[in-house]
Amino acid sequence: MNTATENTRVMRFAQSLVQTTVLSLLTWILGPTPAAGQGAGNLPPGGVTEINTANKSVIATAPFPNNANGVVVTPDGSRMYATNRDVGQVTVFSTSTNVPLLVIPVGNGNDNLGLAISPDGSVVYVANQSSGTVTVIPTATNTVVRTIPTGVEPIWITFSADGSRAYVSNQVSGTISVIATASGSVIANIFGFACPFESKMTLDSSKLLVSSQCDDSLKVVNLASNAVVNSIPTGPNPRGIALTPDGTRAYVAD
């Protein structure tokens, strides 16, 4: 099986984009259609930086009491959720004022890294690495309604396009937990990874691309069978993944 079979061609960046355990910079991008994906926040000093994508200038920095790490923006662009990695919290911001609105406790320790917002913007999932759980927060109430046990050290979350599934990368377990969002339960575990990190859904939602840090590869998961069907060699320590708009290429930061 090759990359043509998987309809995915992978190219390595000429420069390494990720060299540390946590990405050291977040560019919170606000445009006509705000992104709802995960990102990494600024390490000390705390803050989330807003950048004008037209001229690449810094517009503002939202204050942050601790180390900002993961960040998502609601589909309507009105709210931003950022993880406070040192204290087990999520801070909710108004994007119009860059002012924190409230703080939501999550997990039972630090290292709350990844978070994701559902495609319809109704719920935020937070990966609690230290406690091995995912916290569920409806955006209508901003209260914790469920804590879902996953594998060991969950670090990244990707929703399916219809929001019915959430895929959680478990670093130490070497698995992807598949959560049925309607019931809030893990319905499957996908094996075959070595320190899985970031994941991206293909445009047709048939496959999940997962960076596998400890064996220097990009895994291709068939979501119909929940099985790894291809392993593509990358450079050392792959992490970030980006897809071209037409979905024909994936770029892996290693």
pLDDT at 146: 96
DSSP state at residue 66: S
Residue 234 near residue 211, CB atoms below 8 Å: yes
- From 149, 170, 190, the end of a domain falls on 149
DSSP state at residue 43: -
Same-domain status, 169 and 206 = yes
Same-domain status, 97 and 113 = yes
pLDDT at 239: 94
Same-domain status, 108 and 199 = no
Same-domain status, 131 and 60 = yes
Same-domain status, 72 and 101 = yes
What is the C-alpha separation between 142 and 49, in angstroms, rounded? 23
Residue 221 near residue 176, CB atoms below 8 Å: yes
What is the C-alpha separation between 75 and 53, in angstroms, rounded? 18
What is the C-alpha separation between 156 and 154, in angstroms, rounded? 6
| pLDDT tens digits along 55-97 | 888 887 777 666 777 889 999 999 999 988 778 889 999 988 8
What is the C-alpha separation between 21 and 207, in angstroms, rounded? 26
Say if strands 185-190 and 175-180 run parallel, antiparallel, or are unpaired: antiparallel
| pLDDT tens digits along 215-242 | 999 999 999 999 999 999 999 999 999 9
pLDDT at 86: 77
User: In terms of Cα–Cα distance, which of 206, 156, 150 is closest to 178?
Assistant: 150
Same-domain status, 163 and 207 = yes
Same-domain status, 2 and 41 = no
Q: Over its length of 254 residues, how does the chain's per-residue pLDDT go in tens digits? A: 443 333 333 333 222 333 322 232 222 222 222 233 444 444 445 667 777 778 888 887 777 666 777 889 999 999 999 988 778 889 999 988 888 899 999 987 667 778 999 999 999 999 999 899 999 999 999 999 999 999 999 999 999 999 999 999 999 999 999 999 999 999 999 999 999 999 999 999 999 999 999 999 999 999 999 999 999 999 999 999 999 999 999 999 98
Would you say how long the chain is, in residues? Answer: 254
Question: In which residue are the tokens 């990966």 written?
Answer: 127
Range of the domain at 219: 1-18+153-254
What is the C-alpha separation between 53 and 55, in angstroms, rounded? 6
Same-domain status, 191 and 238 = yes
Burial class (CB in 10 A: 0-12, 13-18, 19+), 116: buried
pLDDT at 64: 66
Same-domain status, 2 and 76 = no
What is the C-alpha separation between 175 and 211, in angstroms, rounded? 12
What is the C-alpha separation between 142 and 104, in angstroms, rounded? 7
